[in-house]
Amino acid sequence: MDRDGTLMPDLHYLADPAAVEVTVGVGDALRLLRSHGYLVVCVTNQSGVHRGFFPEETVHAIHRRLNERLAPRGAWVDAFYHCPHRPEENCECRKPGTALFLRAADDWSIDLAASAMVGDRAPDIEAGNRLGLFTVLLPEAGHGAAVDRELAERSVAPDVRVASFGSAAAAILARG
Ligand SMILES: [Mg+2]
Ligand SMILES: [Zn+2]
């Protein structure tokens, strides 16, 4: 799963854990996926760290807060991986780079061919495609046209496009 714009609203360089809110429907959908045996892993680009906007600890605090917000729904994210780099650093972990996905697969013995990626932007889908993941595009409300341009520029397409996180979970489960 992508984080900003997917599990939670994209608040742009969010540095305040208290401002974390989970997108409607995400908790129930994650609980459903977990009940079907899926591990929930979040891979997120957080260039705000190397831009000097917030320290690494803030990223961890936001992730703890996200899980606290999910807890009342009986859901949680099993693991978070973040890239702290700026695009100019040309690292291998910033999406569409795949380094964090590969690390997660190694850490958790994940079968990538049986896994899915849900994200709101083209780099999420591009990373998923590179790894052979089932890709689900869930654009944030009002951003569909911008995401379409991104996809066209990168010549990437998701396996499915949905309008809610619940529909993303249903698509993943329907694929089996
Ligand atoms: Mg996003
Ligand atoms: Zn990186």
Q: pLDDT, tens digit, for every residue of 4-37? A: 999 999 999 999 999 999 999 999 999 999 999 9
Would residue 124 show up in a list of annotated catalytic residues for this protein?
A: no
On the question of a cis peptide bond just before residue 96, with omega within 30 degrees of 0, the verdict is yes
Q: pLDDT, tens digit, for every residue of 53-87? A: 999 999 999 999 999 999 999 999 999 999 999 99
Q: pLDDT, tens digit, for every residue of 118-166? A: 999 999 999 999 999 999 999 998 999 999 999 999 999 999 999 999 9
Residue 176 has pLDDT above 80, yes or no: no
Closest ligand to Cα 143? 1
Write the burial class of residue 109 (CB in 10 Å: 0-12 exposed, 13-18 middle, 19+ buried). Answer: exposed
**Furthest-apart CA pair in the chain: how many Å?**
42
Q: Which one of 2, 28, 78, 107 is the catalytic residue?
A: 2
Would residue 2 show up in a list of annotated catalytic residues for this protein?
A: yes
What residues are neighbours of ligand 1 (ion), with CB under 5 Å?
A: 2, 4-5, 120-121
Cα distance between residue 121 and residue 138, in whole Å: 8
Domains annotated on the chain, with CATH: 17-175 (3.40.50.1000)
Whether 59 contacts 21, CB under 8 Å: no
